Amino acid sequence: MYSFSQVLRRAATVNGRGVATRFLGRHTTWTETAARVPYLAGALHTLGLAGGDRVAILAVNSDEYFQWLFAIPWAGGVFVPVNTRLAPEEIVYCLNQSGSRVLIVDDTYSGLIAQIRGELGSIEHVIHSSDQAAAPGCVSLRELLARSAPVPDAGRGGDDLVSICFTGGTSGRSKGVMLTHDNLVVSTLQWAFEIGVGRDDVILVVAPMFHLAGAINAFAAAVLAASACIMSRFDPRLVLQTVAGERVTKAAVVPTMLNAILAHPDFGSFDLSSLRRITYGGSPISDTLLRGALKALPHVQLYQVYGQTEGGPIIAVLKPADHQTSGPTAGRLASAGQMIVGTEIRIVDADDQPVGHDVVGEICVRGLTVAPGYWNLPEETRQAQRGGWLHTGDAGCLDADGFLYIVDRVKDMIITGGENVYPQEVENVLCAHPAVFECAVFGIPDDRWGERIHAIVRLREGCSVGRDELIAHCREHLAPYKCIRSVDFRTEPFPLSGINKILKRELRAPYWQARQRQV
């Protein structure tokens, strides 16, 4: 058995003088971090926290957020990081659904409390984690610390719950994924092994820490006794400046971020020589963007990471050696790589029967770090894990060499005239058009075909292109039944999920208002 507290103690023992966190120019060592955590845990004890109680966090990334991720388990609690991009009623849902007793908010979100306080059934205390005076409905952390004392590690670990992470909810209501201490430590170790990072790394944490894709970078800094360079918001220029200034060696981005960074006019004016590795994932990447990244960052090793909160979180990794833009293995660039150590993948048909090579079906996974299930949702857990395999909801296939090709979300599949079309394939073709900056493809109601393939497109600055040209471009590269039939152009940004996935659900809704879409 192992625990988050042991992770922290080890980091302080083997690299006490090392910089644990870098945040807005503030460097904090592992010794300092390990010294602070028992005080924060003491504040939770003052509020009556007991073993296994849930403590939610609603805050932007910061070094203090990082410390809470260790202080809550140290106090015996389970941390529930809340997606800050949710609407207030969705936040209330996560807090109530997790049965959290304590909520921690920062200056950015403390103002929300007065608005939602009355709807929070289980929350007994809201801590305003700040140097400022407490917001209405909150207790000030400073004042709380003044009447608390540091406490010893509560000693939970192993199979004890350490976190409940709510899924992004790009489709349907968000579910709380249960994660244990061993689960998160081993998955971080798997990740670190596959990516090849170690104690000397300065790991950029710019994806939000309320999502495992961001948080695993923070956990890795601790498990490896390395350094986490934490950013509270994504801004492409600020990322470039931070990488150069803090000599970041490893960054994790989602494709929309990568696109914005590479397209930034100041991209060439920063010294990015410290950067050795970039992991990307969280949503599909277009071939155009990927080739652009390989060209723009020739000294950086690129790793595509495929996973989901329930799934370990990492399921497959496409290694730098498999990022060939030409030659016999160039086709692998379109894949998500191979299953990582400690993980097994299989593809099944609609009857849950395994299919052969190159046949598309639902991606299922089992392995060392698959989450034990959804919090308080036994039926959803049973359904997702039927037959001992986690059903990811993603459609894909495995080739004869074990490379995984992800086609799309099973639920996003369009059925048009009896044919199955996965939007991602169409989006890939559209994004290859020089005028297209971003796009989203989905099915809309059609009396003749059931569903008709529709695209919403954002053009590159200064570019213009018409509907007919885009349709002709599709016809050049796709079977006729996969081609878009209609296009809407849009200038404002796409609605994004917490992890910067395009929220197709929101884009699609207006077209389906009149009728219920069949799933």
Q: Which of 84, 97, 190, 286 binds its own copies (CB under 8 A)?
A: 190
1 contributes a contact to its own copies by CB under 8 A: yes
189 contributes a contact to its own copies by CB under 8 A: yes
Q: Which of 185, 215, 305, 474 binds its own copies (CB under 8 A)?
A: 185
Q: How many CB atoms lie within 10 A of CB 34?
A: 21
14 contributes a contact to its own copies by CB under 8 A: yes
d(CA 218, CA 230): 8
DSSP one-letter code for 135: P
368 contributes a contact to its own copies by CB under 8 A: yes
d(CA 213, CA 183): 15
d(CA 486, CA 421): 15
Q: Which is nearer to its own copies, 21 or 338 (CB)?
A: 338
Q: Which is nearer to its own copies, 38 or 168 (CB)?
A: 38
| Least separation in angstroms between CB 342 and its own copies | 5
Q: Which is nearer to its own copies, 61 or 335 (CB)?
A: 335
Name the nearest CA neighbour of 330 among 290, 276, 280.
290
Amino acid at the residue 267: F
Q: Which is nearer to its own copies, 363 or 478 (CB)?
A: 363
| Least separation in angstroms between CB 184 and its own copies | 11
d(CA 229, CA 217): 10
224 contributes a contact to its own copies by CB under 8 A: yes
| Least separation in angstroms between CB 190 and its own copies | 7
Q: Which is nearer to its own copies, 208 or 312 (CB)?
A: 312
Q: Which of 108, 117, 119, 193 binds its own copies (CB under 8 A)?
A: 193
9 contributes a contact to its own copies by CB under 8 A: yes
d(CA 208, CA 487): 32
Angle, CA of 312, 316 and 319, to the nearest 5°: 135
Q: How many CB atoms lie within 10 A of CB 139?
A: 17
Task: Mark residue 298 as left, alpha or beta (left: phi above 0; alpha: psi -120 to 50; beta: remaining).
Answer: alpha
223 contributes a contact to its own copies by CB under 8 A: yes
- Provide the strand spans (E) within 192-274: 202-205, 227-230, 250-253
Q: Which is nearer to its own copies, 108 or 324 (CB)?
A: 324
**Contacts of residue 516, Cβ cutoff 8 Å, sequence gap at least 6:** none
**Contacts of residue 457, Cβ cutoff 8 Å, sequence gap at least 6:** 430, 436, 438, 439, 470, 487, 488, 489, 490
Number of shown-chain residues binding its own copies (CB under 8 A): 31
39 contributes a contact to its own copies by CB under 8 A: no
Q: Which of 2, 437, 489, 512 binds its own copies (CB under 8 A)?
A: 2
In this structure, are residues 135 and 114 in contact, taking their beta carbons and an 8 Å threshold?
yes
Q: Which is nearer to its own copies, 190 or 227 (CB)?
A: 190
d(CA 181, CA 372): 12
* Contacts to its own copies from residues 331-350, by CB under 8 A: 338-339, 341-344
Q: Which is nearer to its own copies, 193 or 512 (CB)?
A: 193
Q: Which of 271, 349, 358, 401 binds its own copies (CB under 8 A)?
A: 401
| Least separation in angstroms between CB 251 and its own copies | 21
CA torsion sign for 430, 432, 434, 439 is positive
Q: Which is nearer to its own copies, 133 or 341 (CB)?
A: 341
Instruction: List interacting residues with its own copies (CB under 8 A).
Output: 1-2, 6, 9-10, 13-16, 182, 185-186, 189-190, 192-193, 223-224, 338-339, 341-344, 366-368, 370, 398, 401-402
